[in-house]
């Protein structure tokens, strides 16, 4: 043995050599910070929107945006089996078998999992978000019961990540008459709560989709394709405005400030219609009037109470080369006359890749739809309940 080895042996014997220097007690330590993973959309738009779908109806709406290329999307439901059929990456079950059309059951499930939902939304959306939209069906249990707490959670998240909006968007689907008293009663209470959130300045826009009216607009669509067609119609027009607001125009631009102005105005409806006889100057105005009054996906809403709107005309180059500017001005003026006094109509004219002319509208600042609420109250037999 060398002299150096003898010295080490002597030191080890003196101090008591050991492989472990310190026995660390079980002290609760904070977890390592999660690596922030940014979620990027596969589309280009003026705003980075995030969508949280609640319940089966809301999940379908959120899934429609996913199909368009939006990726800041999460789905929440109280039943795992309802989540399985939705083709979206981020899904969270907060219940054990569904809510059975009972809003209170879903609300209780949410309250017990609130922190989990908040973490889930943050992971699903990332931190680069301009506005969160809560998508829900008003007649079911899961969507209707979680709408209000989801809005409040989304607002909290927006404040935490310092998003570009102080308001949370809501896309709310109303049931068909044939779905029964319980469903229509749920829809009445849910729509009423959503409108109250608008009046409180928490929600904007509130986009209302009336499935009774939708079923009439798409009466010839097969059962297997109906919901996909209906939901994509709303999501598609919504996306078109977001996409167009980021594009330059050779004619007249509808910019991001215009879009934000309408999105911040409260209750909002979207619509679209083709103009087959675009060479007839009256037909363009008639199309705008028709879509504003009856061509949207929302029934029981009085557009004459609206104070803000956007209208985009997209036509092929040949079409735009042959339409007098006066015809387009008259169409925009037609929309202004429909809305209430002092309203603002933001306009845009763009050349498209198809040789036709299509009008797209977004109308906001609409008054609480009392007619629709009264209709749902009667369908839900709530008048008799309140009398008792």
For residue 111, report the phi and psi dihedrals to the nearest 5 degrees: -60, -40
Report the C-alpha gap between 168 and 165 in whole angstroms: 7
Q: Is 207 left (phi over 0), alpha (psi -120 to 50) or beta?
A: beta
For residue 98, the tally of other CB atoms under 10 A from its CB is: 22
Rounded to two decimals, the pTM is 0.87
Domain 49-243 belongs in CATH node 3.10.620.30: no
Residue 387 has a pLDDT of: 43
Q: Where are the beta strands (DSSP E) in the chain?
A: 49-54, 73-77, 91-93, 131-137, 168-174, 203-210, 267-274, 308-315, 344-351, 357-366
pLDDT beneath 50, residues of the chain: 11, 15, 387-388
User: Pseudo-torsion of CA 146, 151, 153, 156, nearest 10°?
Assistant: -170
Report the C-alpha gap between 239 and 251 in whole angstroms: 21
Residue 285 has a pLDDT of: 87
Question: Quick one: what percent of the chain has pLDDT higher than 90?
Answer: 60
Tell me the pLDDT of the chain averaged across its residues.
Answer: 88
Residue 214 has a pLDDT of: 78
Q: Where are the domains of the chain?
A: 49-243
Nearest CA among 205, 214, 48, 39 for reference residue 134: 205
How far are the Cα atoms of 284, 311, 325 from residue 289, in angstroms, in the given order?
A: 9, 11, 18
3-class secondary structure, 337: helix
| Encoded tokens for 225 | 């394709």
303-351 pLDDT, tens digit each: 889 999 999 999 999 999 999 998 888 888 888 988 999 899 999 999 9
Residue 229 has a pLDDT of: 82
| Encoded tokens for 271 | 């619509």
């Amino acid at each position: 043995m060398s002299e150096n080895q003898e010295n080490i042996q002597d030191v080890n014997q003196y101090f008591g050599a050991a492989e472990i220097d310190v026995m660390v007690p079980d002290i609760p330590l904070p977890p390592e910070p999660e690596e922030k993973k940014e979620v990027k959309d596969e589309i280009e738009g003026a705003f980075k929107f995030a969508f949280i779908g609640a319940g089966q109806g809301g999940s379908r709406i959120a899934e429609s945006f996913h199909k368009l290329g939006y990726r800041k999307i999460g789905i929440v439901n109280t039943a795992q089996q309802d989540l399985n059929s939705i083709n979206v990456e981020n899904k969270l079950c907060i219940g054990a078998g569904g809510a059975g059309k009972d809003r209170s059951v879903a609300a209780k499930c949410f309250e017990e999992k609130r922190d989990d939902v908040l973490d889930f939304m943050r992971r699903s959306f990332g931190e680069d978000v301009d506005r969160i939209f809560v998508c829900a069906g008003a007649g079911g249990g899961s969507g209707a019961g979680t709408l209000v707490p989801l809005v409040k959670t989304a607002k909290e998240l927006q404040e935490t990540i310092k998003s570009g909006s102080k308001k949370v968007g809501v896309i709310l689907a109303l049931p068909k008459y044939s779905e029964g008293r319980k469903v229509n009663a749920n829809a009445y209470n849910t729509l009423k709560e959503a409108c109250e959130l608008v009046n409180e300045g928490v929600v904007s826009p509130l986009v209302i989709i009336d499935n009774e009216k939708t079923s009439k607009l798409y009466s010839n669509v097969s059962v297997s394709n109906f919901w996909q067609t209906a939901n994509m119609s709303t999501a598609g027009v919504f996306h078109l405005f977001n996409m167009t607001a980021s594009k330059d125009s050779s004619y007249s631009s509808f910019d991001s400030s215009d879009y934000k102005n309408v999105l911040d105005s409260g209750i909002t409806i979207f619509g679209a219609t083709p103009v087959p006889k675009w060479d007839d100057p009256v037909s363009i105005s008639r199309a705008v009037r028709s879509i504003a009054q009856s061509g949207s996906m929302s029934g029981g809403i009085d557009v004459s109470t609206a104070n803000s709107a956007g209208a985009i005309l997209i036509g092929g180059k040949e079409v735009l080369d042959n339409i007098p500017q006066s015809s387009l001005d008259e169409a925009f003026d037609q929309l202004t006359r429909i809305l209430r006094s002092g309203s603002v109509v933001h306009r845009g004219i763009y050349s498209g890749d198809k040789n036709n002319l299509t009008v797209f509208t977004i109308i906001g600042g609409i008054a609480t739809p009392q007619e629709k609420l009264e209709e749902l109250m009667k369908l839900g037999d709530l008048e008799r309940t309140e009398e008792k």
